[in-house]
Each structure stands twice: as structure tokens, then as C-alpha cells.
Amino acid sequence: MAIVDYNDDLASDFSIITKNTDDIISEAFKDENEKLLAKSIIENLEKDAVEGIKRGLTIKIPRIGNYRYNPIRKRISEHYSDFKQARKSMTKEEYKEYVGGSIDKWKEEERNKNFDKLKVKRYRSRFKKQYEHYALKLGILYASLWFRFLLEVKPVEFDIELERHLQYLYGSKSS
């Protein structure tokens, strides 16, 4: 535990007390086993959060909120060297337009990807019983793929010439 004193005029009456994890755990728990258990739980949660952030998942932290790694920032950092090279060869206005266009393109791609996920989610909730039936009988992956297929399939217009050709190929007698 550390006490920080500020010597400026406004904060001369206040002192800030900072505590680390060990201080908080030692105040909350008296038994050594409970302290050890609490510390191991916290460390495990921290490791899970770090792994989730590395994989680009949304991390839910209790009583704090959600943390989501921004995919646009990730792409900007991946293309940092490209932007640096472009900055050397372009004027300021051209560079702004180039970077802005790249970011807008990435945002549109991300929006389309999220919209596709939203469409599947809405379709699953609309046909919940059918989705649950497939998920229980054949598995969640199959059910998700099936509903994805149903969203993507388009009707084929009837073509009389194609129909006659198919009947000729397969030997159907009806016309």
C-alpha cells in the first residue's frame, strides 16, 4: 500500500491511497487458504482475458464491462509500414485521402461481415424450433451451416428449354 501526497495548492488537503491486488486480498480475506484461492482465481481470469484478447474475442469483465479489440486498429497497425511508405511519396492531402479510403474500405468490410452474422442470427431466432431440432439431432455446426445455406440460396427461374433438355437427357415422357 502506498500513500501519495501532492504538494500543489489545490490538492494539499488530499492524499491518494493506492492498493495492489495483494493488499485488497489481504483486507478481504483473513484465512490463508481463502487468500490463495482468491489470488489464483484472479490470475486465471487475467490469463483468460489475455488469451481472448490475443484471439480477437470480446472479453466480459465482471462489474467493469466488455473489452473488444478493435479490428480497424488492428489493420492499421498491420499496414503501418505501407502507410509510412505512402507518406514519403504523397502530399499531405493525397495521404489523408489514401488512409481515409483504406479505413473506410475496412469499415465497410467489417460492417458487411457483421451484417451477415446478424442475418443468420435473426433467421435462427425466427425459426428457433427448427434450428434447435437440427442442433440437437445433427449438431450446432450443421444447423448453423444449414441456416446459412437457406439465407444464401436464390430461386431459379423456370426455363422451358432447359426443362425440355433435362427431360430428353433423363428420358422423361411427360411434356
> Residue 155 has what DSSP assignment?
P
Gap between the terminal Cα atoms of the chain: 90
How crowded is residue 126: how many other Cβ atoms within 10 Å of its Cβ? 10
**DSSP letters for 58-109:** EEEETTTEEEE--HHHHHHHHTHHHHHHHHHHS-HHHHHHHHHHHHHHHHHH
How crowded is residue 87: how many other Cβ atoms within 10 Å of its Cβ? 14
pTM of the model: 0.49
> How confident is the prediction along the chain (175 residues), in pLDDT tens digits per residue?
555 555 555 556 667 788 888 888 988 888 999 999 999 998 998 898 889 888 888 888 878 888 888 889 989 999 999 999 999 999 999 999 999 999 999 999 988 888 877 888 888 889 899 989 999 999 988 988 888 888 888 888 899 998 899 899 998 665 4
Q: What is the dihedral of CA 65, 67, 70, 74, to 10 degrees?
A: 160
